[in-house]
Amino acid sequence: RGYVFFGGIFLPCRNEDGKNGPSAEREYDGPAGMDPDGVIEGNWNEVIDHFDDMNLKEELLRGIYAYGFEKPSAIQQRAIMPCVKGYDVIAQAQSGTGKTATFSIAILQQIDTSIRQCQALILAPTRELAMQIQKVIIALGDYMKAQCHACIGGTNVKEDVRKLELGSHVIVGTPGRVFDMINRNVLRTNTIKLFVLDEADEMLSRGFKDQIHDVFRMLPPDVQVILLSATMPADVLEVSKYFMRDPVRILVKKEELTLEGIKQFFVNVEKEEWKIGTLCDLYGTLSITQSVIFCNTRRKVSEDFLKYFFSSNLRRLFSPRGR
């Protein structure tokens, strides 16, 4: 692994020639692996339609089905297997498409739960996302008895130290707290074989680039890197160039996303003031147990919906939080 000078410091480069994947003639001057519209160019075509065909551990399959999954989503059909096979992977797909479960399944397939040491490290941009990832890993790995701890800011450092000293198979956290635990030598990195950057675009936009680099420099040189992002700005691919070895690139385009089992329809309402009444009529007709109502302005939420809050079908569904 060579080194390059980047951002005022020397960083390890996964490809000694400093290139992200094989050389090729390019038709434009943008970053390697990205088309002119800022979308990565996929280079992995294998699609597996069913979890049963992925050769996963029996206990993991039980956890997947117990969690409620029946069939892998588009990103899971493409990305789980290259992650399980040990490739460095860049995956781009919209939010809500199943990226968290993708890398969680890959991690759980590869860890050895008989060894109570950190074998996978996940960085996330927010405490809330880190805690959500922790819950998914614990749920999917329930029958494996997988241990996952969240290292996040705003919590008791002593409790983090205690949990890390006890040992966890997977650590998920925000970059600052994770690096702090590594510096304290309570999060030992020598047994880590997978490094995941979730919502990489969001982490870079929040100014975590230097902290991500600091963490990466402490990891074993042969660590597998998985990077997931809803968008793929140039700086994400620039960072990946230093972290990854000839990565598999997976793109799930918007037109490939499906909503199986969900009926979609629209109602053409000619006047703005008729919308609330129409919506109330729908709720009186349809059997809806859970729903989310999106408005395009806060004013519409506060003025229109609050007016009907105590007298309409929306009372049991709407929670006024100014959003």
Least confident of 6-15, 206-215, 244-253: 6-15
Highest mean pLDDT pick, 200-209, 216-225, 281-290: 216-225
The pLDDT confidence band at residue 36, using thresholds 50, 70 and 90, is: very low
Give the C-alpha separation, 218 to 42, whole Å. Answer: 30
Between residues 201 and 283, the one the model is more confident about: 201
Contact of 196 with 120, CB cutoff 8 Å? yes
Average pLDDT over residues 50-67: 96
Residues whose CB falls within 8 Å of the CB of residue 317, separated by 6 or more in sequence, listed in order: 283, 288, 290, 291, 293
Average pLDDT over residues 254-266: 61
Three-class SS state of 70 = coil
Instruction: With a cut of 70, say whether residue 210 has pLDDT above it.
Output: yes
pLDDT of amino acid 41: 78
Instruction: With a cut of 90, say whether residue 296 has pLDDT above it.
Output: no
Which amino acid is present at 147? Q
Domains and CATH numbers, the chain: 2-255 (3.40.50.300), 272-316 (no CATH)
The pLDDT confidence band at residue 10, using thresholds 50, 70 and 90, is: low
Average pLDDT over residues 6-27: 44
Classify residue 40 by its DSSP letter. B
Write out the two tokens for 144. 């494996």
Which amino acid is present at 35? D
Rounded-to-10 torsion of CA 126, 128, 132, 137: 50
pTM, rounded to two decimals: 0.72
Contact of 87 with 119, CB cutoff 8 Å? no
Tell me how far CA of residue 175 lies from CA of 108, 125, 271, in angstroms. Answer: 22, 7, 49
State the helix-helix crossing angle for 209-217 and 175-183, rounded to 10 degrees.
30
pLDDT in tens, 122-132: 999 999 999 99
Closest CA to 110 of 130, 81, 133: 81
pLDDT of amino acid 287: 64
Contact of 175 with 211, CB cutoff 8 Å? yes
Instruction: With a cut of 90, say whether residue 178 has pLDDT above it.
Output: yes
pLDDT of amino acid 86: 95
Residues whose CB falls within 8 Å of the CB of residue 177, separated by 6 or more in sequence, listed in order: 151, 152, 153, 155, 160
Write out the two tokens for 275. 């919308």
Instruction: State the distance between the two ends of the chain, measured CA to CA, in whole angstroms.
Output: 48
Rounded-to-10 torsion of CA 184, 136, 210, 88: 110
Half-sphere exposure in the Cβ direction for 42 (13 Å, CA): 15
Instruction: With a cut of 80, say whether residue 88 has pLDDT above it.
Output: yes
Give the C-alpha separation, 32 to 242, whole Å. Answer: 13
Between residues 255 and 151, the one the model is more confident about: 151
Residues whose CB falls within 8 Å of the CB of residue 276, separated by 6 or more in sequence, listed in order: 304, 305, 307, 308, 312
Which amino acid is present at 10? F
Least confident of 3-12, 214-223, 261-270: 3-12
